[in-house]
Amino acid sequence: MWIKISRHLLLKENPLASISAQTAVVFLALVVSSGLTRAAVVSLPDPAVDITAAARGTQTAVLAGGCFWCTEAVFEQLIGVEKVVAGYAGGDAATAHYEIVGSGKTDHAESIQITFDPARISYGRLLKVFFSVAHDPTLLNRQGPDWGRQYRSAIFYKDAEQKRVAEAYIKQLDEAHVFHKPVVTEVTALKAFYPAEAYHQQFVRRHPDNAYVVVNAFPKLEKLKKQFPDLVKPSK
């Protein structure tokens, strides 16, 4: 049994709602869906193919793995990551708006743009966190309680090197059978990235008592700290 209670539907009327008004509904969704969303892998191998840190200056990566509140919250914790922006990729500028994307009628995916220092954290290392903590790459067009192509797993590469690393790592993971099912992550060229509306930025940090955040984002942050303690920025 699966109850389709997406973040978009649950929070549509009041996206900043607190946990007190939603606890029962979210808890039910969590219990029903837990068997489908539970990660099946404890740890992943390092990428056999990666990009060296020869280039100076910062680089960007665009990844999609379900709710951008959650993925943003994970990657902004990493040492070497200087900025994370929630937004949309895969569609055009005219429809890059939350209500339209949430309808599932565009080709956008909720995505994040990561600005990082490759001398401190490599592109391949970002992908390792992406596949092991940020989302479940074996789920097709859904993550947690969120359904639709806008929640698909995708890597939007900006150049041939990022494509090479992404495709090689997916092949490596599939051949090692580290997941219970094949990886369904799309690897596609980045045409454009469109930042999301201001109220979506740093949502988890600004609204820690939001029901969706408590149920879906916080477990990922705890998993990040346990699996990658050497990559997490010191607490302020």
What residues are annotated to the active site?
67
112 three-state secondary structure: strand
User: Taking the mean position of all CA atoms in its chain, how far away is CA 59?
Assistant: 18
For 27, 52, 122, 193, 201, the CA distances from 55, given in Å and listed in that order, are 46, 8, 11, 22, 29
- For residue 114, the cross-strand partners are 61, 84
Rounded to whole angstroms, the Cα distance separating 181 from 198 reads: 36
Query: In this structure, how many other beta carbons lie within 10 angstroms of the beta carbon of residue 224?
Result: 21
- Look up residue 146 and give its two tokens: 């969120």
Q: What angle do CA 213, 85, 134 make, to 5 degrees?
A: 50
Rounded to whole angstroms, the Cα distance separating 105 from 146 reads: 15
For 33, 121, 167, 223, 225, the CA distances from 230, given in Å and listed in that order, are 31, 11, 26, 13, 8
